[in-house]
Structure 1
Amino acid sequence: MTPAASPAIRIGSTEIIALADGVGPFPFTSREAAFPDASAAQWAAVDRFDPGAVDGEGRWSLNFRAFAIRGPKGVTVVDAGIGPADAPASWAPLPGKLPESLAAAGIDPAEVDTVVLTHLHTDHVGWAVVAEGAVTTSGDGPSTGLSAFFPNAEYLIQQAEFDAVDTLNPQLRETLIDPLRASDQLRLLDGDTPLRAGRVVATPGHTPGHQSVIVADGRESVLITGDLLVNAIQLLYPELAYVFEMDRETARRSRERLLRSGGGALLHVASSHLTEPFVPAP
């Protein structure tokens, strides 16, 4: 079934589109154990802000999504979701639905000119490189090798993330990095970098080379977070650490720098994992 029209927000002449890929429970730990410093009062505030983040069995429920930035100068996709049936994010609700969400938004993968991978965790790179022929969510079809799902796009990763791939997930060197280098589609960044619409901002901490994307027009902006925050508790209380952050203090500084420096501007947060794709920064 083709998804309904994807939620979107417009900033000036640029449209930011949320691309759903799946929904499922977080399998590794409870949310309380994931944020051990959070208080009962803080969780009560989170439940008011994002009640859909707890499923009927009391488990932490995650949305998995990517974002498209569509403007006069082209189409950028931020993150690549959980992937097809044979993707390495076996803990997530595979197969993902990103191809259908792209189609619902009227985006052909061939027209995407830039893919920003916020970091190299498997639920953010699943559709980046796929088995040739595996362009649907069924996972069926002949496989003669690996190729970029977005065949005409440049893929952007921070140099620090590239350098840490063997620590993050050695498998990704063969299944992601090498195919993108072979097709000359991999571009390594060193810090903040302008895009055709918006800019990449280095936000290390969750991983060594984590990056986010900001699209701004006047005093209004959208922050596409990646895993700068993974639960609404970090949006409401950016100082709280997440146990799976590789450098918790650096991650805290990255969050606070972007979420607490608005100066009265209107900031929309576009998150990978919250129930709603677009929420106003508190």
Structure 2
Amino acid sequence: MIDRPPNHEVFALRYSSSAMRPPRINYSFPDSHAVDENLEFYVWAIRGGGRTVIVDTGFDEAVAGKRGWPLHRRVDEALSSIGVDAATTPDVVLTHLHLDHAGGTAMFPKARFHVQDREMAYCTGRCMCQGRLRTAFEVDHVVQMVRYVHGERVRFHDGTAEISPGISLHLAGGHTGGMQVVRVHTARGWVVLASDAAHFYNSLTYANPYPAAPSLAEALEALRLCEDLADSADHIVPGHDAQVMRRYPLIGGGADGVRLDLVPNVTDR
């Protein structure tokens, strides 16, 4: 008899939003389906099997001010709204080290950070000599991650890794050298948190990745990987799509977020 992995609750918590952006900025191939879309900025929380795992840390006030982006609320405040204490969280998965995904690590002083080998090599290596590739990184965040390495607070992964029964990490590449996605077992099946492997639902529907990628070929393969890992297209959660907030049930109680382990609203497509 095969052991069934535990079911998990999965939350998407919105902490910032961008202005509307034209298709040429959001898609590698801005063809007939593409429309103006904004970016919603999320972090994700996974709860079940006796543990809580946070996926990405967002950015803080300093980055918001520097980049001119609104900060609806701090990520630790967003997590507190669902009963999660960032200050004591033991495990944080960093899908990649772009500033909007790894800019709030200081809010997690007890956490061990899960990072792909290739991501650390990418953001400290020769690719960072290219201004267009390093623009989404903040050097202070990268330096801080090196400090975490020396402080033995980073758990490196090389490809696929199960960090807990029902929670696994999968190297995708494409958007960054070591982009990873997270697969989670829920009551409705296997859900994939695509993060920036798929910015939008249209990225998946039309095989049309975000243009900021060191490897377009890997970015296209990353979309396919998400499809292979998820139980269906309705089980893939894009990293920045505003529709996520409309498709899934709201958490309520003042939390600006939704429950991804519950069945999405099929009428809001």
Letter in 2 for 1:187: R
TM score, norm. by length of structure 2: 0.76
Cα offset, 1:203, TM superposition: 0.8
Tell me whether 1:194 sits opposite 2:152 in the alignment.
Answer: no
Distance in 2 (CA, whole Å) between partners of 1:233 and 1:267 is 13
- Distance of aligned partners of 1:203 and 1:91 in 2 relative to their CA distance in 1, 3 Å threshold: farther
Tell me whether 1:125 sits opposite 2:102 in the alignment.
Answer: yes
Map 1:88-127 onto structure 2 (within 5 A): 90-94=67-71, 96-127=73-104
Cα offset, 1:93, TM superposition: 2.2
Letter in 2 for 1:123: D
Counterpart for residue 255 of structure 2: none
Q: Deviations for 1:130-171, whole angstroms, at most 9, x for unmatched residues?
A: xxxxxxxxxxxxxxxxxxx21221101111110111324471
Identity percentage over the alignment? 24
Distance in 1 (CA, whole Å) between partners of 2:229 and 2:103 is 32
Which of 124, 143, 146 matches 1:178?
146
Distance in 1 (CA, whole Å) between partners of 2:219 and 2:234 is 19
Q: Deviations for 1:228-273, whole angstroms, at most 9, x for unmatched residues?
A: 01123202112x24321110101101111222565x6575223331
**Any gaps of 5 or more consecutive residues in structure 1?**
1-10, 48-53, 55-59, 130-148
Counterpart for residue 154 of structure 1: 112
Distance in 2 (CA, whole Å) between partners of 1:18 and 1:235 is 19
Distance in 1 (CA, whole Å) between partners of 2:202 and 2:228 is 15
Distance in 1 (CA, whole Å) between partners of 2:117 and 2:26 is 28
- Distance of aligned partners of 1:266 and 1:237 in 2 relative to their CA distance in 1, 3 Å threshold: closer
- Distance of aligned partners of 1:165 and 1:88 in 2 relative to their CA distance in 1, 3 Å threshold: farther
**Any gaps of 5 or more consecutive residues in structure 2?**
129-133, 246-259
Counterpart for residue 30 of structure 1: 22
Tell me whether 1:64 sits opposite 2:48 in the alignment.
Answer: no
Counterpart for residue 254 of structure 2: none
Contact 2:23/2:30 (8 A) holds in 1? no
Distance in 1 (CA, whole Å) between partners of 2:24 and 2:40 is 18
Which of 57, 76, 99 matches 1:80?
57
CA RMSD of aligned residues (A): 2.9
Distance in 1 (CA, whole Å) between partners of 2:77 and 2:7 is 25
TM score, norm. by length of structure 1: 0.73
Partner SS for 1:25: coil
Counterpart for residue 202 of structure 2: 233
Letter in 1 for 2:109: P
Distance in 1 (CA, whole Å) between partners of 2:221 and 2:265 is 20
Counterpart for residue 226 of structure 2: 258
Map 1:207-246 onto structure 2 (within 5 A): 207-217=176-186, 220-238=189-207, 240-246=208-214
Partner SS for 2:91: strand
Counterpart for residue 270 of structure 1: 237
Moved over 6 A (4+): none
Partner SS for 1:61: coil
Distance in 2 (CA, whole Å) between partners of 1:200 and 1:16 is 15
